[in-house]
Amino acid sequence: MISKLKSPMAATLLSLLLSMGMGVYLCIKAAAPMLEIAAKARAKLVVKKEDTGWDFWTIEMDNLSNDLKEERAKLRKQSDLLDQRDARITAEEKEMDRVRADIDTLRKSIGDKVTEVTADEAKNLKVLSQTYATLSPKAAVAILKEMDDTTVVKILSQMKPDVVGPI
Protein backbone atom coordinates (compact mmCIF):
# COMPACT_ATOMS: atom_id res chain seq x y z
CA MET A 1 0.00 0.00 0.00
CA ILE A 2 2.83 2.39 0.66
CA SER A 3 4.11 1.69 -2.78
CA LYS A 4 0.87 2.89 -4.29
CA LEU A 5 1.11 6.16 -2.30
CA LYS A 6 4.54 6.78 -3.80
CA SER A 7 3.16 6.80 -7.31
CA PRO A 8 2.82 10.23 -9.01
CA MET A 9 -0.82 9.60 -9.73
CA ALA A 10 -1.70 9.16 -6.05
CA ALA A 11 0.25 12.28 -5.12
CA THR A 12 -1.57 14.24 -7.82
CA LEU A 13 -4.96 12.96 -6.70
CA LEU A 14 -4.16 13.66 -3.06
CA SER A 15 -2.99 17.20 -3.85
CA LEU A 16 -6.09 17.80 -5.99
CA LEU A 17 -8.39 16.71 -3.14
CA LEU A 18 -6.52 18.79 -0.61
CA SER A 19 -6.63 21.92 -2.81
CA MET A 20 -10.35 21.48 -3.47
CA GLY A 21 -11.09 21.02 0.22
CA MET A 22 -8.97 24.00 1.13
CA GLY A 23 -10.79 26.15 -1.51
CA VAL A 24 -14.23 25.16 -0.19
CA TYR A 25 -13.11 25.86 3.41
CA LEU A 26 -11.73 29.30 2.55
CA CYS A 27 -14.80 30.17 0.49
CA ILE A 28 -17.18 29.25 3.33
CA LYS A 29 -15.07 31.15 5.85
CA ALA A 30 -15.09 34.30 3.66
CA ALA A 31 -18.79 34.03 2.74
CA ALA A 32 -20.11 33.52 6.31
CA PRO A 33 -20.18 37.26 7.28
CA MET A 34 -21.74 38.17 3.96
CA LEU A 35 -24.44 35.52 4.43
CA GLU A 36 -25.26 36.91 7.88
CA ILE A 37 -25.62 40.46 6.45
CA ALA A 38 -27.83 39.19 3.63
CA ALA A 39 -30.03 37.24 6.09
CA LYS A 40 -30.50 40.37 8.27
CA ALA A 41 -31.37 42.50 5.23
CA ARG A 42 -33.88 39.90 4.07
CA ALA A 43 -35.48 39.80 7.53
CA LYS A 44 -35.85 43.62 7.45
CA LEU A 45 -37.49 43.47 4.03
CA VAL A 46 -39.95 40.83 5.21
CA VAL A 47 -40.89 42.92 8.24
CA LYS A 48 -41.29 46.05 6.14
CA LYS A 49 -43.57 44.23 3.67
CA GLU A 50 -45.77 43.03 6.52
CA ASP A 51 -46.05 46.57 7.98
CA THR A 52 -47.09 48.40 4.82
CA GLY A 53 -48.69 45.62 2.81
CA TRP A 54 -47.23 47.25 -0.27
CA ASP A 55 -44.14 46.54 -2.31
CA PHE A 56 -43.69 50.28 -2.80
CA TRP A 57 -44.53 53.59 -1.12
CA THR A 58 -44.06 57.00 -2.70
CA ILE A 59 -44.01 60.61 -1.56
CA GLU A 60 -47.28 61.26 -3.37
CA MET A 61 -48.92 58.50 -1.37
CA ASP A 62 -47.59 60.06 1.84
CA ASN A 63 -48.98 63.44 0.77
CA LEU A 64 -52.38 61.94 -0.05
CA SER A 65 -52.41 60.12 3.27
CA ASN A 66 -51.60 63.33 5.14
CA ASP A 67 -54.28 65.24 3.21
CA LEU A 68 -56.87 62.60 4.08
CA LYS A 69 -55.91 62.76 7.75
CA GLU A 70 -56.26 66.55 7.73
CA GLU A 71 -59.65 66.35 6.02
CA ARG A 72 -60.85 63.78 8.56
CA ALA A 73 -59.76 66.06 11.39
CA LYS A 74 -61.60 69.02 9.80
CA LEU A 75 -64.73 66.92 9.33
CA ARG A 76 -64.62 65.76 12.95
CA LYS A 77 -64.25 69.37 14.08
CA GLN A 78 -67.19 70.48 11.92
CA SER A 79 -69.26 67.57 13.16
CA ASP A 80 -68.55 68.56 16.76
CA LEU A 81 -69.50 72.18 16.01
CA LEU A 82 -72.73 71.06 14.34
CA ASP A 83 -73.56 68.83 17.30
CA GLN A 84 -72.98 71.74 19.68
CA ARG A 85 -75.09 74.06 17.52
CA ASP A 86 -77.86 71.48 17.33
CA ALA A 87 -77.86 71.08 21.10
CA ARG A 88 -77.97 74.85 21.55
CA ILE A 89 -80.85 75.19 19.06
CA THR A 90 -82.77 72.43 20.81
CA ALA A 91 -82.30 74.14 24.18
CA GLU A 92 -83.40 77.49 22.72
CA GLU A 93 -86.48 75.87 21.15
CA LYS A 94 -87.44 74.44 24.53
CA GLU A 95 -86.96 77.86 26.11
CA MET A 96 -89.06 79.48 23.36
CA ASP A 97 -91.85 76.93 23.92
CA ARG A 98 -91.79 77.66 27.64
CA VAL A 99 -91.89 81.43 27.04
CA ARG A 100 -94.78 81.02 24.55
CA ALA A 101 -96.71 78.99 27.10
CA ASP A 102 -96.09 81.72 29.70
CA ILE A 103 -97.19 84.41 27.27
CA ASP A 104 -100.35 82.49 26.37
CA THR A 105 -101.15 82.06 30.06
CA LEU A 106 -100.61 85.78 30.69
CA ARG A 107 -102.76 86.72 27.67
CA LYS A 108 -105.56 84.55 28.87
CA SER A 109 -105.41 85.92 32.41
CA ILE A 110 -105.25 89.51 31.12
CA GLY A 111 -108.12 88.87 28.71
CA ASP A 112 -110.18 87.38 31.51
CA LYS A 113 -109.47 90.38 33.75
CA VAL A 114 -110.27 92.96 31.06
CA THR A 115 -113.60 91.48 30.08
CA GLU A 116 -114.48 90.41 33.59
CA VAL A 117 -117.31 92.48 34.88
CA THR A 118 -118.96 91.27 38.03
CA ALA A 119 -122.65 91.63 38.64
CA ASP A 120 -122.12 94.41 41.20
CA GLU A 121 -119.87 96.35 38.85
CA ALA A 122 -122.37 95.97 36.03
CA LYS A 123 -125.13 97.34 38.25
CA ASN A 124 -122.95 100.28 39.35
CA LEU A 125 -121.87 100.98 35.76
CA LYS A 126 -125.48 101.06 34.61
CA VAL A 127 -126.40 103.55 37.35
CA LEU A 128 -123.34 105.70 36.59
CA SER A 129 -123.99 105.67 32.84
CA GLN A 130 -127.60 106.77 33.38
CA THR A 131 -126.42 109.51 35.73
CA TYR A 132 -123.76 110.83 33.34
CA ALA A 133 -126.20 110.62 30.43
CA THR A 134 -128.50 113.06 32.20
CA LEU A 135 -125.68 115.55 32.83
CA SER A 136 -124.61 118.13 30.28
CA PRO A 137 -121.77 116.92 28.02
CA LYS A 138 -119.42 119.54 29.50
CA ALA A 139 -120.07 118.39 33.10
CA ALA A 140 -119.80 114.70 32.12
CA VAL A 141 -116.42 115.31 30.45
CA ALA A 142 -115.10 117.12 33.53
CA ILE A 143 -116.00 114.12 35.74
CA LEU A 144 -114.77 111.49 33.25
CA LYS A 145 -111.37 113.21 33.00
CA GLU A 146 -110.77 112.40 36.67
CA MET A 147 -111.38 108.63 36.18
CA ASP A 148 -109.04 105.96 34.79
CA ASP A 149 -109.46 104.96 31.17
CA THR A 150 -110.82 101.45 31.74
CA THR A 151 -113.66 102.74 33.92
CA VAL A 152 -114.48 105.48 31.40
CA VAL A 153 -114.62 102.90 28.59
CA LYS A 154 -116.93 100.67 30.63
CA ILE A 155 -119.27 103.57 31.46
CA LEU A 156 -119.37 104.84 27.86
CA SER A 157 -120.07 101.35 26.57
CA GLN A 158 -123.26 101.28 28.68
CA MET A 159 -124.56 104.55 27.17
CA LYS A 160 -126.47 104.96 23.93
CA PRO A 161 -124.51 106.26 20.92
CA ASP A 162 -126.57 109.43 20.59
CA VAL A 163 -125.64 110.36 24.19
CA VAL A 164 -121.92 109.39 23.84
CA GLY A 165 -121.52 111.47 20.66
CA PRO A 166 -121.75 114.94 22.29
CA ILE A 167 -119.56 113.86 25.21
Distance between CA atoms of residues 69 and 67, nearest Å: 5
DSSP annotation of 166? T
Give the integer Cα–Cα distance in Å for 158 and 81: 62
The predicted model scores a pTM of: 0.36
Say what the pLDDT of residue 16 is: 92
Q: How many distinct helices (H) and strands (E) make up the chain? A: 7, 0
- Residues 6 or more apart in contact with residue 83 via CB below 8 angstroms: none
Per-residue pLDDT tens digits for 73-89: 999 999 999 999 999 99
Query: Residue 158 burial by CB count (10 A; 0-12/13-18/19+): exposed, middle or buried?
Result: middle
Q: What is the pLDDT of residues 124-160, one digit of tens each?
A: 878 878 887 888 888 888 888 888 888 888 888 888 7
Cα separation, 15 vs 17, in Å, equals 5
| Confidence (pLDDT) at 49 | 47
